Structure 1
Amino acid sequence: MLVRIVKMGFYKQNIDVFQEHFNNHKQDIRNFEGCQFLEVYRDVKDPSVFFTYSYWENEDALENYRRSDLFAEVWGKIKPLFSKPPKAWSVEKILSLE
């Protein structure tokens, strides 16, 4: 399994636009072939910073999403809303405790 973490900073006036757009597409992203999990987090000290965590079957599944029309639509809409360049990491989950 591949875990994708994306950190995004938005101009304050764009936060609601991001949240609305993401909410409109969250089920489409979560139901994309190979996506096993999706969550969004907000920084407690800086409410203009968000993180997405998504689990993918493998790197090919993530790349298929990144080449999809859905990704182009979602990313195309939110990219102009950023206050700083986004950062992304692909990591492998080693351990999970519940």
Structure 2
Amino acid sequence: MLPYLEALIRRAQDSGQLRAEVTASDIPVMQQMLVAAQSTQGRRPDIWRRCIEILLNGLRRRPDDLPLTTPGLSDELVEQVMGLVRPAPARD
């Protein structure tokens, strides 16, 4: 999935719509954030809409953007966190 996200992100950045610091590894993490927002136990099943609005506004490039201060995750770590790659078995 990450190579497709990289291409999409590159196009959005080239068009000036997306912050330069955003990487493909940021997207699966944000997806998990939205999944967590849906777990409002049925009290606010629409809260994901608010969360995605906040996320999208934060992703958009603006003239007054402050630089991001924390680096993103590596592709390998994103895959591990998302359960896409199983850690190598420990050697005895």
TM (norm. structure 1) is 0.27
Between Structure 1 and Structure 2, the one with more strand by share is: 1
Between Structure 1 and Structure 2, the one with more helix by share is: 2
TM (norm. structure 2) is 0.28
Larger gyration radius, structure 1 or structure 2: 2
